[in-house]
C-alpha cells in the first residue's frame, strides 16, 4: 500500500519588502495511515509553515516554490483555492493552538460541527445533529445534547479545544494536522486531550502530523519524529531511537531541554543563542553558531541529510558523515 502523505523536496519562500527568503528548504517525508509524525523545533524552525502548506494555507506572501505534496497519490501543489476547500475539512483537517481563531463566535457549537457534515457528507439536518452529539461525546464533553446549543464563549478553553477536535474529526479525515493544539492548556487537560486524539487516531486510522516544540508531548504521542532547524530537516527517526540515541547536537540540546517531571529541582536547559531568521544568510551548517561541537568544515560547507542505517532515519551533521565514512572505511579494509 502506498503512503497516505508523500512530501517531496518541498521548498517554501516568502516575499518581504526587501527580498525573497526561504523559510523551508527541500523537506521530504512520508506518513502512513494510522501513524503520528511529530514535527519539532523551536519557534522559527519552519515547522508551522510546513504544516500550513500541507493544507494550502500559507500566508499571502508565502508560496511553495518547489516540490510536491501528495495525499493518497493526488498532487496538492498547484490546486486552486476552490479545489483545496473541498479537501480541507473533508480529507484533511487541522487543529490549532487557539480554538477561538477556528471557532466562529456567532454560531452555536452544534451548528459548527454540523456544517461540514452537511456540506461534505451531504447529511440531513437530523443526521448531522445526531452525529454532532456523538462526536462531542467522543471527545469527552459532558451533556453533549445541551452543549450543542451553546456558543464558543460559553465554554472553557479545554472544552473549546475539544469542540475543535470534534469539528476536525467530523468528516473522518484521512489526515489530521495539529499545530501546538495543547500548548495553551493546563497539564491535566493537555494530557486528556492527547489521550483522546490518540484513541481517535486508532479508531479512525487517521495519519497525524503534529507540530510542537514540546518534547514531553512528542514522547507521549509520536511514532516518528522530524526535527527542523531554521528551515532544514536536521534529524528524522522513530520516536524511541530519537530519544535513546539522538545524533544531531541540536536534537541532543532539545532533549536536554525536557524538564524531568520527577525532579522538581532540575532546571530546564536551554540551548544558548537563538534561531536565525529566514533572512539570515548563514554559510555551512545553519546551526553552527550555536553548536558546541562545531568544526571548521561546519562554517563553510552545509552537511547533507544522510541516511543512518535504516529506512526513514537520517541526520544532517558533519559529525555523522565522519562516523559513516569511518564505518565504511573499516568495512572496506576488513573485507
Ligand atoms: Fe554542529 Fe557541525 Fe553538526 Fe552543524 S554540522 S550540528 S555545526 S557538528
Ligand atoms: Mg508555530
Q: How would residue 230 be classed by pLDDT, with cut points 50, 70 and 90?
A: very high
Is 288 a pocket residue for ligand 1 (Cβ < 6 Å)? yes
Q: Is 249 in the pocket of ligand 1 (CB under 6 A)?
A: yes
Q: Which of 232, 234, 249 to mutate to test ligand 1, by most ligand atoms within 8 A of the CB atom?
A: 249
How confident is the model at residue 331, as a pLDDT? 41
pLDDT at 38: 97
Q: Which of 318, 321, 322, 323 to mutate to test the pocket of ligand 1 (most atoms within 8 A of CB)?
A: 318
Q: Above pLDDT 70, what percent of the chain? A: 90
Residue 234 has pLDDT above 70, yes or no: yes
User: Would you say the C-alpha torsion 181, 185, 186, 192 has a positive or negative sign?
Assistant: negative
From CA 275, how far away is CA 159, in angstroms rounded?
34
Ligand (nearest to CA of 47) = 2
Cα 279 versus chain centre, distance:
23
The position carrying cell 523536496 is 9
- Whose cell is 473549546? That residue is 160
Question: 273 CA to middle of ligand 1, Å?
Answer: 15
Highest mean pLDDT out of 16-20, 231-235, 305-309, 318-322: 231-235
CA-to-CA separations, 204 to 170, 171, 175, 183, 274, in angstroms, rounded: 11, 10, 10, 24, 39
Predicted pLDDT of residue 323: 66
Query: Using N-to-C axis directions, what is the helix angle for 157-169 and 187-204, rounded to 10°?
Result: 10
Q: Dihedral, CA atoms, 98, 31, 198, 38, nearest 10 degrees?
A: -50
Cell of 52: 500550513
Locate the ligand 1 atom nearest the alpha carbon of residue 295 and give its number: 2
Q: Could you tell me if the CB of 319 is within 6 A of ligand 1?
A: yes
Residue pair 207/176 in contact (Cβ under 8 Å)? The answer is yes
- Pocket residue to mutate for ligand 1, from 288, 315, 320, 322, most atoms within 8 A of Cβ: 288
Tens digit of each residue's pLDDT (9 = 90 or more) over 239-292: 999 999 999 999 999 988 665 555 544 445 568 888 898 888 899 999 999 999
Look at residue 232 in the predicted model and tell me its pLDDT. 96
The three cell numbers locating residue 235: 534529524
Residues less than 5 Å from ion ligand 2, measured at CB: 48
ipTM: 0.95
Among the bound ligands, name the one nearest to the CA of residue 287.
1
* Closest-approaching ligand to the CA atom of 50: 2
Q: What is the mean pLDDT of residues 295-306?
A: 96
Determine whether the shortest distance from the Cβ of 287 to ligand 1 is under 6 A: yes
Q: How many CB atoms lie within 10 A of CB 199?
A: 13
Which of 147-161, 189-203, 305-319 comes out lowest in average pLDDT? Answer: 189-203
Contact 154, 189 (CB under 8 A): no
∠ CA 173-205-74, nearest 5°, is 50
CA 255 to centroid of chain Cα atoms: 18
Helices (H), ranges, the chain: 47-54, 81-87, 99-102, 109-120, 125-138, 144-147, 157-169, 187-204, 215-221, 239-244, 249-256, 296-300, 318-334
pLDDT band at 332 (very low <50, low <70, confident <90, very high): very low
Do 158 and 185 form a contact (C-beta atoms < 8 A)? Answer: yes
Confidence of residue 311 (pLDDT cuts 50, 70, 90): confident
Question: Per mean pLDDT, which range of 74-83, 117-126, 130-139, 267-276 is the poorest?
Answer: 267-276
pLDDT, tens digit (0-9, with 9 covering 90-100), for 16-60? 888 899 999 999 999 999 999 999 998 889 999 999 999 999 999
298 lines ligand 1 (CB under 6 A): yes
Query: Can you read off the three cell numbers belonging to residue 143?
Result: 451533556
Distance CA 5, CA 209 (A): 10
* pLDDT score at 321: 77
Q: 282: Cβ below 6 Å to ligand 1?
A: no
For position 328, what pLDDT does the model report? 47
**Residue 262, pLDDT score:** 54
- What's the whole-number mean pLDDT along residues 184-196? 81
The grid cell for 306 is 544522510
Q: How far is the CA of 45 from the centre of ligand 2 (A)?
A: 9
Looking at residue 188, its pLDDT comes to 81
- Is any ligand 1 atom within 6 A of the Cβ of residue 303? yes
Task: Report how far Cα 326 is from the mean position of its chain's Cα atoms.
Answer: 34
Q: What are the structural domains of the chain?
A: 5-91+174-309+321-334 (3.40.50.300), 102-172 (no CATH)
Q: Which of 127, 195, 120, 111 is nearest to 158 (CA)?
A: 195
Ligand nearest to the CA of 321: 1
Amino acid at each position: 500500500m502506498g503512503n497516505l502523505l508523500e512530501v517531496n523536496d518541498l521548498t517554501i519562500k516568502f516575499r518581504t519588502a526587501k527580498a525573497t527568503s526561504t523559510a523551508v528548504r527541500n523537506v521530504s517525508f512520508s506518513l502512513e495511515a494510522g501513524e503520528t509524525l511529530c514535527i519539532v523545533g523551536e519557534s522559527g524552525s519552519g515547522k508551522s509553515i510546513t504544516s500550513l502548506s500541507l493544507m494550502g494555507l500559507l500566508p499571502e506572501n508565502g508560496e511553495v516554490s518547489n516540490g510536491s505534496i501528495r495525499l493518497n497519490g493526488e498532487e496538492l501543489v498547484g490546486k486552486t483555492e476552490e479545489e483545496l476547500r473541498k479537501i480541507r475539512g473533508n480529507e484533511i483537517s487541522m487543529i490549532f493552538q487557539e480554538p477561538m481563531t477556528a471557532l466562529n463566535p456567532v454560531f452555536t457549537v452544534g451548528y459548527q460541527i454540523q456544517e461540514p457534515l452537511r456540506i461534505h457528507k451531504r447529511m440531513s439536518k437530523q443526521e448531522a445533529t445526531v452525529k454532532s452529539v456523538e462526536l462531542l461525546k467522543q471527545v469527552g464533553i459532558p451533556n453533549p445534547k445541551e452543549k450543542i446549543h451553546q456558543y464558543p464563549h460559553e465554554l472553557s478553553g479545554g472544552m473549546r479545544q475539544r469542540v475543535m477536535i470534534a469539528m476536525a474529526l467530523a468528516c473522518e479525515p484521512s489526515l489530521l494536522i495539529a499545530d501546538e493544539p495543547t500548548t495553551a492548556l493546563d497539564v491535566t487537560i493537555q494530557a486528556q486531550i492527547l489521550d483522546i486524539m490518540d484513541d481517535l487516531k486508532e479508531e479512525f486510522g487517521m495519519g497525524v502530523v503534529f507540530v510542537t516544540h514540546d518534547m514531553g508531548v512528542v514522547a507521549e504521542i509520536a511514532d516518528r519524529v522530524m526535527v527542523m532547524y531554521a528551515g532544514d530537516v536536521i534529524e528524522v527517526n522513530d520516536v524511541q531511537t530519537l530519544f535513546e540515541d539522538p545524533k544531531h547536537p541540536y536534537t541532543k540540546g532539545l532533549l536536554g531541554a525536557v524538564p524531568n517531571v520527577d525532579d522538581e529541582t532540575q532546571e530546564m536547559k536551554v540551548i544558548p543563542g537563538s534561531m536565525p531568521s529566514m533572512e539570515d544568510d548563514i554559510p555551512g551548517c545553519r546551526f553552527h553558531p550555536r553548536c558546541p561541537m562545531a568544526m571548521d568544515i561546519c562554517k563553510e560547507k552545509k552537511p547533507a541529510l544522510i541516511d543512518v542505517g535504516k529506512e526513514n532515519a537520517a541526520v544532517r551533521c558533519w559529525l555523522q558523515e565522519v562516523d559513516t565514512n569511518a564505518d565504511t572505511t573499516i568495512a572496506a579494509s576488513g573485507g
